[in-house]
A and B are shown apart, each in its own frame.
Chain A
Amino acid sequence: MAASLRQAISDWIFRAAAPETPPVTLIQRRIFILPTRMGYVFAGTVLVLLLSSINYALSLGFVLTFLLMSMAAVAMLHTWRNLAHLKLRPGRCEPVFAGDVAHFGVTVETPSLTRFAIALRRREGDPVYADVGVREPATIWMPVQTQARGLLRCGRLEVFTRYPVGLFHAWSYVEFDLKVIVYPRPDAAAGPPPQNAGSAAEEGIPIPGDDEFNMLRAYRAGDAPKLIAWKALAREQGLLTKEFNATASAELWLDYDEAPGGDVEKRLSALAHWVLKAEDYGQAYGLRIPGTRVPPDRGDAHCRRCLEALALYRLEP
């Protein structure tokens, strides 16, 4: 009953909620509080205790009854206070492959008093709890089982608490622009990426790579230590960096049209597998899918860009 009422309230209050600008502070009028189901059972218990006290004329029974009753009232304040004035910020969400568990992160900060058992949950999903200390912001990661590739939005979040005694449920809603990019699940069945696809030579542009030693150039900050010409340094020629050119034959284009598999998702999965493999081989590779072209390169950022392109391929905006 409480849950459905909460749902009704939330639907009414956040009719068409736009993502909020962080940080969000849970001010007084954003917080709702209702008894939990165990709270109602507690009320029933207290009522029976009261009737027994009257019936058996037990003065200490009255003391017990009123003590529990007042304790519940105080607990309501404690529960409310445990949630009030919390500051919430969205965290960074790491991309995952479809089928893996993604995590939405929200950082919670308290201006005063340590907060216990603060929970966050998505509309459908289990709550995740954390304690938040003063000057010790906690980041709560909400796991979500991904199914398909694409852009997974976190949607509205319920932040709630039942601490200290679980008789009351104080909650608030926040809506951040939290999303996780879900890459297609790599399909190992696709085999190794084709080695000769496309041709960079045609385009006549030398592609920086490390396959073939080309020349020495002056060291620039950020060059990898393994590329430094230590022998030259030893000959007191100064700090030089070796430069390589990738050979045209090693240049790789991963093409949507060449990917095996009947439907779009299969092809994307195969491409994802190829991207990872190519990255493993240390080859420079480019990605060609209808509507998007990622020029050949290598490295972590490039790999992510490719996978992202695969994840977002033909998605509804």
Chain B
Amino acid sequence: MTRLPAPPPLDVKNVMWLLAAMVFVVAPHLMRLPSWVGIFFGVVVAWRAWIAWAALRLPPRMLVLLITAAAAVGTFLQYQRITGREAGVTLLVVMASLKVLEMRSQREVVLSIYLGFFLVMTNFLFSQSIPLGLYMLVCVWLFIATLVGFNRVGSSPTILERLRPAGALLLQALPLMAAFFILFPRVQGPLWAVPQDARGASSGLSDSMTPGQFASLIKSDAIAFRVQWHGERPPFPAMYWRGPVMTLFDGRSWHVQRELLAGDGLHYAASGHPVSYSVTVEPSTKNWLFALDVPAAPPKGAYALQDLQLRSYRPLDQRTRFEMTSYLQYRYLQGSGPITLELASRFDDTRNPRTVALGREWARELDHDPRRIIDRAVLFFNREFTYTLEPPLLDPVNPYDDFLFRTKRGFCEHYAGSFALLMRAAGIPARVVTGYQGGEVNPLNNELIVRQADAHAWTEVWIADQGWVRVDPTAVVSPLRVENGVNAALGPIGISSAIMAADKLGIISSMHFAWQYMNSQWDQWVVGYNVDKQRQFFSDMGFRNVDWRTLAFWLMVAIFIVGGAVTLGLLLRERQPRADPSLAAWNRFCAKLAAAGLARAAQEGPLDYLARVKAQRPDWATEAEEITRRYIDARYGSGASREDIQLLATLVRDFRAA
């Protein structure tokens, strides 16, 4: 007695596809997460592959539960919590691998694929670059291909038979996706509290400065911000990007002063032409902005402190663009009350005693004349100091003594810090300004890219009749640093710089700039496409003040048009069965005869028709017979070559039934 067969187990090939897609999507994470996560994931996936391959039984539920609990505990021990970016992603990777391990039905497979889409999303928390975007597109393609494989019930499709339909689906989805991307009304997030480290907490300047702290920054190729000029670009030596201003000094570190600073506008006397430009700041957890020294007014969404620092109201946790104007020539006299000056003169004379003594000595010697003291200090630095990014370690208690009198090797923060301390000791109010200096110009669009490597620190000193004056002791030690950037001063840093240096012909550098340009466009228009960008896009198109209702309307229109076009394209292709070319030729032949009054009757076969044609028009007999014979051969014979059909078509074309 034959019985109905039991439902088949999951197809091995399909399971392998899913595992491969999972490995693809998790791979970028494994470089960011602790190594045990990678090992765990690898082992579980290999185990599942082995189970599928050897048709073994799945591990018992209890065991899977146990492993789950162990992995959750591991995650907690690693991060001391299970929320936050790294911990959350770790947990998701662990859960996804366990889901894969225990999947037994098709439904669980599909759920695993959906989980895969979340894993794609989590990758974007770390990077939204072009390469990662393309890579993730491939991952989505693999997942859809897996889905296609699972839905080819009853047959085992080839690799191409999975990838092709999946690729077609994605390609045909692109127009509609683009319409949604552009038109879907963006809202200002977040909807719920975002953990502090949810977005890439890129390194950057902090609100304190300790000697040696910049070194890692200066070796980083990461972009801090980009600048587009709305006019002429100022010369490099003038490009001081003003950031956190540090007035408080504890003998070792300089700190931003948090209180008493809320300014009521910017007070300085500007002269010369303003420079206007826009700054696109990379996401960070901080909220300060960088403007050319000195900003004319705080841009929209930001405010200025008394010491001319700009701060954004919201943390800059996404790429944000600010329109700025600066004056490069100014006299910064006002807005510095007695408290500010008092704070800018404080120092602890029990620490760095030799530095303090030197400052005091200069003051005595030079009659407390600020200009002469500054000149003396500049001379001092000019004589025997070396600019290097690998400075020796300094004494933690008296670092500046150690630096000035022993090592004499350092970079901007050493110079700025010790210079400011010397000034204070000499009775001149001084403070450290951190920020960036210079940048790299992309010749393709004249855009300036400022990297972490361009981080810089300089000083401002107070001179009674001139106000705050910028003095950059680093420029004295290493003039190249300020004129040509940090690479010129130090030689190439990092891989890309090394390649650039070896590039004699400039091919690599032009490719490099083209790539930079593409990245910049990508960052601005794709990654940075937010509420403001959307509004800007539409005002560029001539629609002012679009609100979400207008957007929703246009979205509907776009869905209708784009969706309609795709639908028609798909369904029209279906409607046209591939016509047999020999039949088409025959039909044309019949049409010609019909036009001559010899229409073929519906029930008439080709041979009967031929007989009738021959009887009625003996003059056409030869041609008609040739055509009919060839048609019958092609259509009902053992198969006609392309040439045969071509010949038939030619015969029909040349046939004149006049």
A residues near B (Cβ < 8 Å) are: 38, 41-42, 45, 48-49, 51-64, 66-71, 73-75, 77-78, 81, 84-85, 99-101, 111-113, 116-117, 119, 126-131, 134, 143, 145, 162-166
Whether a CB of chain A sits under 8 angstroms from the CB of B427 is: no
Q: Can you list 22 A-B pairs, Cβ within 8 angstroms, ordered by A?
A: A49-B117, A49-B121, A54-B189, A54-B191, A55-B192, A56-B190, A57-B318, A59-B530, A60-B124, A60-B527, A62-B181, A64-B120, A70-B177, A70-B180, A77-B571, A78-B570, A116-B152, A117-B152, A117-B153, A127-B153, A165-B169, A166-B110
Query: What residues of chain A lie closer than 8 Å to B566, measured between beta carbons?
Result: 74, 77
- Among residues of A, the one whose C-beta sits closest to the C-beta of B193 is A55
1/0 contact string of B173-186 vs chain A (CB within 8 Å): 11111001100101
A56 touches B571 (CB 8 A): no
Query: What residues of chain B lie closer than 8 Å to A111, measured between beta carbons?
Result: 577
- Among residues of A, the one whose C-beta sits closest to the C-beta of B175 is A70
B574 touches A63 (CB 8 A): no
Query: What residues of chain A lie closer than 8 Å to B181, measured between beta carbons?
Result: 62-63, 66
Query: What residues of chain A lie closer than 8 Å to B184, measured between beta carbons?
Result: 62, 66
Query: What residues of chain A lie closer than 8 Å to B128, measured between beta carbons?
Result: 58-60
List 6 additional A-B contacts (Cβ < 8 Å) besides A59-B526, A69-B177. A55-B194, A57-B317, A73-B563, A117-B153, A117-B155, A145-B3
Interface centre among A78, A116, A126 (most CB of B within 10 A): A116
Whether a CB of chain A sits under 8 angstroms from the CB of B170 is: yes
How near does chain A come to B130, taking the closest CB pair, in angstroms?
Answer: 10
For chain B, the count of residues having a C-beta within 8 Å of the partner chain is 69
A164 touches B527 (CB 8 A): no
Whether a CB of chain A sits under 8 angstroms from the CB of B151 is: yes
1/0 contact string of B539-567 vs chain A (CB within 8 Å): 00000000000000000000000010011
Query: What residues of chain A lie closer than 8 Å to B317, measured between beta carbons?
Result: 57
Q: Which of B142-150, B239-247, B254-262, B607-615 lies at the interface with chain A?
A: B142-150
B148 touches A165 (CB 8 A): yes
Of B144, B198, B567, B574, which one neighbours A84 at CB under 8 angstroms? Answer: B574
Query: What residues of chain A lie closer than 8 Å to B144, measured between beta carbons?
Result: 71, 165
In the complex the two chains form, what is the Cα distance from A238 to B604 in whole Å?
45
A55 touches B577 (CB 8 A): no
Shortest Cβ-Cβ A-B pairs, 4 listed? A129-B154, A70-B173, A70-B176, A66-B180
In the complex the two chains form, what is the Cα distance from A70 to B566 in whole Å?
11
B3 touches A101 (CB 8 A): yes
Of A58, A100, A117, A166, which one neighbours B121 at CB under 8 angstroms? Answer: A58
- Among residues of B, the one whose C-beta sits closest to the C-beta of A41 is B114
Of B3, B110, B154, B172, which one neighbours A74 at CB under 8 angstroms? Answer: B172
B153 touches A81 (CB 8 A): no
Whether a CB of chain A sits under 8 angstroms from the CB of B658 is: no
Whether a CB of chain A sits under 8 angstroms from the CB of B125 is: yes
- Among residues of A, the one whose C-beta sits closest to the C-beta of B578 is A112
- Among residues of A, the one whose C-beta sits closest to the C-beta of B170 is A71
Of A52, A57, A164, which one neighbours B169 at CB under 8 angstroms? Answer: A164
Query: What residues of chain A lie closer than 8 Å to B191, measured between beta carbons?
Result: 51, 54-55
In the complex the two chains form, what is the Cα distance from A9 to B519 in whole Å?
53
How near does chain A come to B238, taking the closest CB pair, in angstroms?
Answer: 34
Of B110, B125, B166, B530, which one neighbours A38 at CB under 8 angstroms? Answer: B110
B147 touches A165 (CB 8 A): yes
Whether a CB of chain A sits under 8 angstroms from the CB of B635 is: no
In the complex the two chains form, what is the Cα distance from A199 to B577 in whole Å?
65
